[in-house]
Every structure is written in C-alpha cells, then in structure tokens.
C-alpha cells in the first residue's frame, strides 16, 4: 500500500522494484481520495474505471519491458478546466453541466502519452476566476494544513491534492497566480512556465493572453521532470513557442555559486499589507541561497504598482469574450422552456454562471466598450509593455528574481468572499509574471502560524531551467518541502 | 454638369463585398469547405467553439488574400492583426467572429470600371478602402418544415468558411456604376483564382451603402445599408428602390435615418430591418489566441510573381498591340475568359479592331440576351474569325454576318457552311445589282436630285434601299460604285 508521503521518485522506485504496481498506486489514490476528499473536496470527479484500466495497461507495458518513461503508471490529477476525450470537464461551473469532451488537450495528451494515469479532475474557482477555490459550483476545497482555511486558488484542488498526498503530480493553470498562490498556501511546488511554453489546446480559456498550464509537485526536480513531458511547440496553439524543450533536469546541479538573485525593491519596501512573518521567511530563504554561493542584488520593477489594475482590465476583457460561447446553444446548460432567444441567453447564463464570473464578464464588457477601449484596454496593453521592459532590464542584472508568492499565508474560508477587491490583492505578487509572460515558481520556504509560506522565483522568458535550478538548489538546503500537513503525514 | 440618376440629388454608393475564398479547409479549422452537404457534416471542434479549442490560421487563405490585394492595386501590409467582433447570435458559435479591424491585410487599392456618363463610355476609377480576411457564420434554419416545430435549427457547415471582405470608397454615383464595379471585381477574383464568385451559392455577395445629397453639396447625406444582395439584378433594383425611397423622404422635407435595409424583390421596395440609433458596439479587440500575421516583402513579391497577367496590364497591351480604345480594352479584359476569347479570335486571323468591335457589339449582345457567359456559349473563336474574314473579303455582308452571330453563340457551327446553306453570299453580280439600282433611282427621283445637289447623306439612304431589296446581301462596294456612275 502506497503511503501518502511518497514522492515521484519513491513511486517510481516502488514500480521499478516490482514492490508495487501502477494498479496498486491508482487504487490507493482512488481510495484515499474517497476517504479524505469527503473533507477536502480536492476532486470534482474521479475517473475510477478509466484510471484502473490505464494503470493495468501501464503495468503490462512495464512487464513487457516497454515502459514509456519516468511517468509511466504514475497517478496524476488534472484541473477541471482541462479536457480529455470521453470525460466531463466543467470548469467548476453549472453552465458546463454534463459537457463531455470529444477530444483531449495537448498537455493532458502528452502526460498520457508518457504513461501517466489521470485519476480525476480537481476543484477550482469557477472558470479559474478566484484566489480561494471558494467560487466553485462544488463545495470549496479545504487547505490540508488547516481545514478551515482555503487552499488558495484558482487551482486549489490540484494544490491540495498534492499537499495531502493524494497524487504526486497535478496539472493546474495560472492566469494571475492560480498555480503559485495555492502552491504557497498548500506548501508544495507550483510552476507556471513561460507563456507559450505549454500548449493551451484543450485548456478552457479564461484570459487567453495570460493563461498558462503548469504543474504541482513536491519538489522542483519533479516539476522539471513533468515540464519536460508537457512542454513544447504545438501547431494547434498559435501562441505556443516554437522553441526546443531543454532537458530541464540536467540543469539541476545544486550549484548557485556565481548566480545573482534579484530582490525587487517594490515588492519588499512598498509592500504595505504584506505579513511581516511572510517577509521574514522569504528573506531567510534568500539568505540561504546567499550562503550557498549566490549573490543578492536589489533590482527595480518600477511599474509593479500598476500590475493588479492592468491584470484585471486585460483578464476581464478577454474573459468577457472567451465566455460568450457558453450560450446554451450547442452544449452545457440551457434554461428550460425559454420564451425566446433573448430569454434563453439571459436565463442560461444567469443560472449557469456564478457571481464572480458574472462580475468579471460585466467588467470586461465595460472595458472593451466603445469610448472606453482606449482608456482601459489599450492603456492596459501599454502598461503591459512597460512591465515587460521592467523585467527585461531587471534580468540584465540578475538571474532570478525572488519575492514572496503571496502577501500572507492561507486565509480562512469565507474571510474574503464578500470583498472582491481584497481577494484580488492576493494576486499582487503573482500577476506581473503573467503580464510579462515570464516563468515563475513558488516553493515552500517556511511557516507562519502553522501554515506554509511560499517563495516566488521568477526568470527571464524561457529560462525555466534557471528558475528550477535555483529552486532545486534551495530545496537541497532546506526541508520545508518535506513537511507534511499533520493530518496527512 | 451631369444630372445623373436623379434630377435633384446626387447618388452616393459604397459597396462591401464578401467573397468566399477558394480553400479546401476553413479559415481557422481543418474542417472541409463544401457546399450542399447535410447540416453539420463539415464541422470540427473549432467550428463548434467547443471548450478549449484554439484557431489556427489557414495559410492558403493568406496567399489568396495577398493575391486579391495585389490584383486590386492595394498595399499588402507586412503586419496585419486578427480581431474579435463580439456579438451574440445562435449561428455564431464563439460569440464572436474573427475578422480584421484596425490592421487589415490590404488597404488603399482601386479598380478601373467601364461606365457610361452622359452617353459617353469611359473608364472610372473606383477606390478600394480595404480588404480583410474573416470567417463566415453558420446558418439558422427557422423553417418549420425543416425543424418540425416552432424551433430554430443551426447548421455550422458554413461556420468558419474563409471570406474576403472588400470595401470600396463611396465612389459610385448610380446603380449601373455599382453593378459595373461589382462585375469587374467579381471577374478579378475569378481571374486570379481567389474565389469562384458563384453568386447563387452566396460566394460573392454584397452590402450597399446608399445616400443622397443635393447636386453640388459637399457633405454626404445619411446613408442606409442594404444587406445581403446576391444577384446583379437585385443589386441594381434594390439600389434604385432605395434611391426612390430616400428621395421621397427628402422631397417631403423629412430626413433619412441610419438603418439597415432589406430588399423585397416581389414588391420592388426596400424596408427597414432595424434602425441604428447608436452605432453597434462590437467590442473589437485583437484576438489573443492568434499572433499578428507577419509577411515579409519577399513573400509578397513571390505571390505577385505567381499572378496571371492582370486585367489592366493586359488592357494596356491590347491598346498598344491592337490599337483598341481604353474602353474597349477594359471591357475585353474585364473577364479573363473574355480576353482569352478575343486573343483566340485574333490568333485565328482576325484583325484586332475588327475582332474587338464584333465581340463588344454583336457577340456581347447575343450573350446578354441569352444570359450566357462566353465560356458557356457555343461560339468558337475560329468561327468568329472566319466570319469576319468572309465579311472583309466581300463574300458576305456585315448585315448577313450579324444575323448569324446569335445562332453561332447558341448552337455553334461553321460560318462558311451556314452562309452557303442560308444563301447569304454577297451579291456582287453587276448585272443584277445594276437592275436593282435602276429601280431604286426610278422610285426616288427627289432623293436623286438632292444627291446631285451635294447632299451626301442621301447616298446612305439610297444604299439602304438597295440593301433592303437584296435582303442585305448586296456587296456595298459594288452598289456604291454603280450608284456613283448612275447619279454621276
């Protein structure tokens, strides 16, 4: 019986030695999910039958010496905004009730081609809009470290599933911090690659120019391994980067001597509202890297203070258009007995979308309206260019930028649901990486009041290898990522 | 100053044409482009806007758009951007149409169009504002006979089919000019293999913006938009009806309101579909799922090299090599098949001016009467060249030959045989003709006197009388000679 605390490496070792089988691992994941998930609500849908049959296939391959690689037979979870042929995906929204996809998205396909076994879809904020996984049409996910706290969001289900040891790997998506902030809150590694590094084909869009698929694991080394599998150019996504995928694991030499870690003054000095214990943990992590041989240098990202506003203009504008297809005509929820076309649209969408999604559709529609476009959307795009230049300039002076991932540790369930603006400020340290399109990763760097603190490392475009190298080196000097939520240890 | 179409008002017309590009697959999805398939058989997750799908641009469509731009003298831009036009409609699966808005692929072109003004035939330059690529929507079927009850069904076969939208400046001043422009534009897109231009299938359709202003006024009047006109006849009728409607409004002291109009061919009237009190807000923004389309100059030049000789280059050559007028050359080259036919007639031995004049007058009339395109007619270029040679050699008369054109167009045949069969050889036997001339002189003594007095036009009248008596078969040269001798 697989234990909760196993890492990818340990899973693999047990498969290689024949001590366990993929079927056993998947059965264990399913049964743990059944027991634990009553309380945590990490998953919105399990794929028991399909997963068991995939696991048996993997065991057969292994027995015949045809294992496909390091992920063959490993149970994984995917976020509910990723489609897979023959399976439901709902984005945790009533409007997609009953939608079964006739095709599989690229990232999921690549995971499956590598032999990974998808055990289910994980909970999220509806359409990835939120920072707590409370805006789900299902029950809110709970933080494995403290069940009356949120796991962060929007990929809270994936983060909590890895933290609780239900699966060693989960995919998430990150539009403004939706992988990194829940990774920080749940004490796991969350990697958002460079925009375009992983294909968005089959990822149900929230904000197309910001959305990026990434991974949750326990360690940076595991994240590197999964990224190698899912990354790479995809002709089905015109925005995917036509660059070869490096062997990220080869960059993980544990050595940071001579590397420069940049600390943006804007994140540390003018960060009102940032929990001092979070700041202290991050500073201590940076000191660890310094002791390991890295140089620390102050850098400047002067347009940071416009980032959250810019993000909410661009993301809502794109969302208002991306979500127009959910109209009750072709799939998903359609209001019963509509009086006419207008009534069908109005009621299908009013009944199908939750409050936060409606709020963002309304905001985005306004942002794109005639007469406001120049003041909002075009201006936001200009600021975005400035933010990108900030990063370009900063990366001339350093190899990675280190900041807190979130201004605080996990907050309580219900604490911010009535105050959207406070909820939006959870993203204050993460949105810039999406706007600039740079890779960023969150990793555990300490605890405050019994809850994990996240360190964010950002790199230059396509420099995932550098980010992973520094994160891995840090993890060789710390054991925060080996800590388990007491109940799930 | 020209009075034009209406005594009080000048008519101002601008046209937006949607023409379907000739591609095997759709603009952003691999689904096939096909006509007449059962509903929803030419679809793919992308055309249905399933969750998670993304558009991928069809590179062939880009080539065709470049061709269209080059053939209409547009600037083809090295960067253009796809934008989303957002609106809700059941046949629009994404809730937006992918089009081009602020940065279209082509801008600033023109076409020379043969028009008639004050009875003069001339070429008029109609400017083209822009050409951009966009996807078509699906089709809503409201017919209860199809849907079985009071319901609407949607067919997405057409959703995502690649279109070019070609927008003209408001340069046309009459319904005839509008149609003349459309004929030239349609022949251009067919010439360069961008579109089959099939109007019946809706592959070449037009929206017309129509406004009136007092003659001499600077400001344009308020315009209305006539939607979805898909035959030349309806376009002309619809614009005419709309001019009438607007003129009546203005005459009564009213004003034209900005509106979208439909044409009812049964009643020959236009009616308001909806008023545009506020401009529609389509919330255009660059499509974040697509990157800007970047073409380097050498790519554009490579496409230029693959174009056939374009109509105006060919027209210039026809003027130079065959001594045609610019009007004749423009009309002959307006369609590739028409120009090919002309060249084949010349190749078969006819002189350029004679071939042009026979084609533009007699052949074109016969085609128009039968609503035929030249490629669908039975007339062979060799036959026309043979007939011209017979006329020039005096073996038949122009009048007899003209009478055969319709038959040749309809059924084809060999002119030598037809002339012999119908007894249409020119009568040049002097004895016979002298007898006829003498009869004519005897019957018209007054006219003969006037001719003697120097009134040369009477000669034509007397010649006509001889022709009438000989059923057009008299050789005009011989008749003229005998008349001159007799009248002295």
Interface contact A370-B289, CB threshold 8 A? no
* Global confidence as pTM: 0.88
B359 lies in the same domain as B405: yes
The last residue of one of the domains, among B403, B422, B441, is: B422
Task: Tell which of B25, B28, B54 to mutate to test the A interface (max A CBs under 10 Å).
Answer: B54
Residue B3 is assigned to a structural domain of this protein: no
B273 lies in the same domain as B212: yes
Q: Can you spell out the DSSP letters for A197-237? A: SS--TTBPPSSTTT-EEEEEESSHHHHHHHHHHH-S--TT-
Q: Write down the pLDDT at residue A3.
A: 42
B35 lies in the same domain as B182: yes
Q: Write down the pLDDT at residue A270.
A: 60
What is the CB-side half-sphere exposure of residue A7 using CA atoms within 13 A?
A: 16
Set out the domains of chain A in order of their start, with CATH numbers.
Answer: 8-253+472-488 (3.90.1300.10)
- Per residue in B83-129, pLDDT tens? 999 999 999 999 999 999 999 999 999 999 989 877 788 889 999 99
Interface contact A330-B52, CB threshold 8 A? no
Identify which of B139, B133, B239, B140 has the alpha carbon closest to the alpha carbon of residue B195: B133
Contacts 24+ apart (CB under 8 A), A62-68: A62/A15, A62/A22, A67/A115, A68/A113, A68/A114, A68/A115
Q: Write down the pLDDT at residue A168.
A: 95
| CA–CA gap between residue A381 and residue A387 (Å, rounded) | 10
Residue B304 is assigned to a structural domain of this protein: no
Residue B4 is assigned to a structural domain of this protein: no
| CA–CA gap between residue B278 and residue A128 (Å, rounded) | 35
Query: What distances in angstroms separate CA A170 from CA A109, A340, A442, one per listed residue?
Result: 14, 43, 15
Residue B231 is assigned to a structural domain of this protein: yes
Q: Touching check for B49 and chain A: CB below 8 Å?
A: yes
Interface contact B48-A317, CB threshold 8 A? no
Helices B445-452 and B430-443 sit at what angle, rounded to 10 degrees? 100
pLDDT surpassing 90 at residue B297: yes
For chains A and B, CB pairs below 8 A equal: 100
State mean pLDDT over B205-228: 94
Q: Touching check for B44 and chain A: CB below 8 Å?
A: no
B134 lies in the same domain as B275: yes
Contact B108, B72 (CB under 8 A): no
Interface contact A205-B281, CB threshold 8 A? no
The last residue of one of the domains, among B274, B299, B324, is: B299
Residue B203 is assigned to a structural domain of this protein: yes
Instruction: Give B290 to chain A, closest Cα distance, Å.
Output: 6
Instruction: Give A452 to chain B, closest Cα distance, Å.
Output: 33
Q: Touching check for B38 and chain A: CB below 8 Å?
A: no
ipTM value: 0.96
B294 lies in the same domain as B214: yes
Residue B239 is assigned to a structural domain of this protein: yes
B371 lies in the same domain as B479: no
E strand or H helix at A262: strand A260-264
B45 lies in the same domain as B91: yes
Q: Can you spell out the DSSP letters for B368-410? A: HHHT--GGGS---HHHHHHHHHHHHTTSB-HHHHHHHHHHHHH
B280 lies in the same domain as B158: yes
Contact residues on chain A for B86, CB-CB shorter than 8 A: 320-321, 324, 368
Average pLDDT of chain B to the nearest whole number: 91
Q: How far is residue B432 CA from its own chain's centroid?
A: 48
Each residue's pLDDT expressed in tens, for chain A with a length of 489 residues: 334 446 888 898 999 899 999 999 999 999 998 888 889 999 999 999 999 999 999 999 999 999 998 899 999 999 999 999 999 999 999 999 999 999 999 999 999 999 999 999 999 999 999 999 999 999 999 999 999 999 999 999 999 999 999 999 999 999 999 999 999 999 999 999 999 999 999 999 999 999 999 999 999 999 999 999 999 999 999 999 999 999 999 999 999 999 999 999 988 876 567 899 999 999 999 999 999 999 999 999 999 999 999 999 999 999 999 999 999 999 999 999 999 999 999 999 999 999 999 999 999 999 999 889 999 999 999 999 999 999 999 999 999 999 999 999 999 999 988 888 888 888 889 999 999 999 999 999 999 999 999 999 999 999 999 999 999 999 999 999 999 998 887
Q: Write down the pLDDT at residue A129.
A: 98
State mean pLDDT over B338-367: 93
| CA–CA gap between residue B156 and residue B340 (Å, rounded) | 39
E strand or H helix at A469: helix A464-476
Q: Give me the active site residues of A, please.
A: 79, 154, 178
B52 lies in the same domain as B193: yes
Q: Write down the pLDDT at residue B74.
A: 98
Contact A444, A421 (CB under 8 A): no
B15 lies in the same domain as B124: yes
Contact residues on chain B for A365, CB-CB shorter than 8 A: 283
Instruction: Give A11 to chain B, closest Cα distance, Å.
Output: 31
The last residue of one of the domains, among B387, B402, B422, is: B422
Tokens, residue B152: 């609407």
Give the structural domain span for B453. 430-487
Q: How many domains does chain B have?
A: 3
Query: What distances in angstroms separate CA A167 from CA A27, A85, A181, one per listed residue?
Result: 11, 21, 19
Q: Write down the pLDDT at residue B2.
A: 45
Q: For A372, which residue in chain B has the nearest alpha carbon? A: B283
B26 lies in the same domain as B125: yes
Q: Shortest CB distance from A329 goes to which of B53, B57, B90?
A: B90
- CATH of residue B452: 1.10.10.410
B62 lies in the same domain as B180: yes
Contact A73, A55 (CB under 8 A): yes
Residue B1 is assigned to a structural domain of this protein: no
Tell me the helix, strand and coil percentages in chain A, rounded to 5: 45, 15, 40
Q: Write down the pLDDT at residue B132.
A: 98
Q: Touching check for B276 and chain A: CB below 8 Å?
A: no
Interface contact A103-B50, CB threshold 8 A? yes
E strand or H helix at A443: strand A440-448
Question: How many other CB atoms are there within 10 angstroms of residue B463's CB atom?
Answer: 17
Q: Write down the pLDDT at residue A419.
A: 85
Query: What distances in angstroms separate CA A407 from CA A147, A272, A283, A347, B453, one per listed residue?
Result: 20, 9, 13, 39, 114
Contact residues on chain A for B94, CB-CB shorter than 8 A: 324-325
Identify which of A262, A365, A364 has the alpha carbon closest to the alpha carbon of residue A313: A364
pLDDT surpassing 80 at residue B336: yes
Q: Flag the least confident range among A276-290, B318-332, B460-474.
A: B460-474
């Amino acid at each position: 019986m697989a234990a909760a605390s196993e890492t990818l490496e340990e899973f693999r070792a047990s498969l290689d030695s024949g001590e366990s089988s993929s079927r056993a691992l998947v059965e264990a994941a399913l049964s743990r999910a059944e027991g634990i998930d009553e309380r945590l609500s990490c998953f919105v849908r399990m794929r028991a039958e399909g997963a068991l049959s995939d696991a048996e296939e993997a065991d057969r391959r292994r027995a015949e010496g045809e294992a496909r690689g390091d992920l063959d037979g490993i149970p994984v979870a995917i976020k509910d905004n990723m489609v897979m042929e023959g399976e439901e995906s709902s984005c945790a929204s009533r409007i997609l009730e009953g939608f079964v996809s006739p095709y599989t998205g690229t990232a999921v396909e690549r995971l499956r081609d590598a032999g990974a076994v998808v055990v289910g879809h994980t909970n999220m904020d509806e359409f990835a809009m939120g920072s707590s996984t409370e805006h789900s049409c299902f029950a809110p996910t709970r933080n494995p470290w403290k069940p009356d706290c949120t796991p962060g969001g929007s990929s809270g289900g994936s983060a909590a599933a890895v933290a609780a040891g239900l699966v060693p790997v989960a995919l998430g998506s990150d539009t403004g911090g939706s992988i990194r902030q829940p990774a920080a809150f749940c004490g796991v590694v969350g990697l958002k690659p460079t925009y375009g590094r992983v294909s968005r084909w089959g990822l149900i869009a929230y904000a197309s120019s910001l959305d990026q698929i990434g991974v949750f694991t326990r360690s940076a080394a595991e994240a590197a391994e999964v990224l190698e599998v899912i990354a790479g150019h995809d002709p089905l996504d015109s925005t995917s980067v036509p660059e070869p995928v490096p062997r990220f694991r080869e960059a993980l030499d544990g050595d940071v001597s001579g590397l420069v870690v940049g600390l943006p003054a804007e994140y540390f000095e003018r960060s009102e509202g940032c929990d001092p214990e979070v700041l202290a943990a991050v500073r201590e992590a940076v000191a660890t890297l310094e002791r390991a041989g890295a140089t620390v240098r102050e850098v400047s990202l002067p347009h940071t203070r416009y980032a959250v506003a810019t993000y909410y203009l661009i993301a809502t504008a794109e969302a208002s258009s991306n979500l127009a297809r959910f109209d009750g005509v072709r799939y998903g929820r359609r209001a019963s007995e509509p009086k006419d076309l207008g009534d069908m649209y109005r009621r299908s969408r009013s009944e199908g979308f939750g409050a936060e999604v409606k709020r963002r559709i309304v905001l985005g529609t306004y942002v794109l309206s005639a007469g406001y476009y120049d003041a909002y959307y075009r201006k936001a795009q200009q600021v975005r260019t400035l933010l990108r230049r900030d990063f370009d300039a900063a990366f001339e002076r350093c190899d990675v930028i280190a900041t807190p991932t979130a201004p605080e540790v996990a907050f309580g369930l219900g604490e911010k649901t009535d105050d959207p603006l406070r909820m939006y400020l959870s993203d204050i340290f993460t949105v810039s990486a999406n706007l600039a399109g740079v890779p960023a990763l969150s990793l555990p760097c300490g605890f405050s009041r019994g809850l994990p603190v996240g360190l964010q490392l950002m790199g230059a475009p396509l420099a995932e290898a550098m980010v992973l190298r520094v994160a891995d080196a840090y993890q060789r000097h710390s054991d925060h990522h080996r800590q388990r939520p007491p109940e799930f240890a | 100053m020209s009075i034009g179409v209406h005594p009080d008002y000048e008519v101002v017309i601008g046209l937006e044409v949607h023409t379907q590009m000739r591609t095997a697959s759709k603009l952003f999805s691999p689904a096939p482009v096909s006509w007449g398939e059962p509903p929803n058989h030419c679809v793919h997750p992308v055309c249905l806007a399933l969750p998670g799908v993304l558009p991928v641009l069809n590179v062939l469509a880009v080539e065709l758009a470049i061709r269209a731009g080059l053939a209409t003298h547009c600037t083809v831009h090295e960067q253009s951007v796809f934008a989303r036009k957002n609106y809700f409609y059941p046949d629009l699966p994404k809730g937006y149409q992918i089009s081009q808005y602020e940065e279209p692929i082509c801008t600033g072109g023109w076409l020379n169009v043969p028009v008639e003004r004050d009875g003069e035939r001339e070429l008029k330059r109609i400017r083209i504002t822009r050409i951009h690529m966009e996807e078509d929507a699906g089709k809503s079927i409201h017919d209860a006979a199809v849907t079985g009850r009071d319901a609407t069904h949607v067919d997405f076969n057409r959703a995502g089919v690649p279109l070019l939208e070609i927008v003209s400046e408001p340069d046309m001043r009459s319904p005839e000019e509008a149609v003349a422009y459309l004929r030239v534009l349609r022949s251009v897109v067919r010439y360069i293999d961008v579109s089959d231009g099939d109007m019946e299938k809706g592959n070449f359709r037009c929206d017309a913006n129509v406004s009136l202003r007092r003659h001499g006024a600077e400001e344009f009047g308020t315009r209305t938009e006539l939607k979805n006109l898909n035959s030349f006849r309806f376009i002309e009728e619809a614009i005419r009806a709309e001019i009438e409607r607007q003129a009546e409004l203005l005459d009564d002291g009213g004003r034209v309101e900005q509106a979208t109009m439909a044409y009812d061919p049964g009643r020959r009237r236009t009616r308001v579909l909806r008023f545009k009190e506020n401009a529609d807000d389509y919330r255009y923004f660059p499509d974040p799922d697509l990157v800007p389309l970047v073409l380097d100059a050498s790519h554009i030049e490579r496409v230029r090299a693959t174009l056939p000789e374009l109509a105006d280059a060919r027209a210039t050559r026809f003027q130079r090599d065959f001594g045609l007028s610019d009007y004749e050359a423009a009309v002959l080259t307006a369609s590739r098949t028409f120009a090919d036919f002309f060249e084949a007639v010349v190749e078969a031995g006819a002189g350029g001016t004679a071939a042009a004049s026979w084609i533009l007058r007699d052949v074109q009339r016969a085609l128009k009467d039968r609503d035929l395109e030249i490629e669908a007619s039975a007339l062979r270029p060799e036959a026309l060249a043979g007939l011209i040679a017979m006329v020039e050699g005096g073996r038949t008369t122009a009048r007899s030959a003209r009478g055969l054109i319709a038959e040749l167009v309809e059924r084809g045949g060999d002119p030598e045989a037809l002339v012999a069969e119908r007894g249409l050889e020119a009568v040049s036997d002097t004895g016979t003709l002298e007898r006829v001339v003498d009869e004519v002189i005897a019957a018209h003594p007054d006219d003969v006197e006037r001719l003697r007095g120097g009134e040369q036009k009477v000669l034509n009248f007397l010649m006509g009388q001889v022709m009438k008596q000989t059923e057009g078969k008299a050789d005009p040269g011989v008749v003229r000679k005998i008349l001159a001798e007799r009248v002295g």
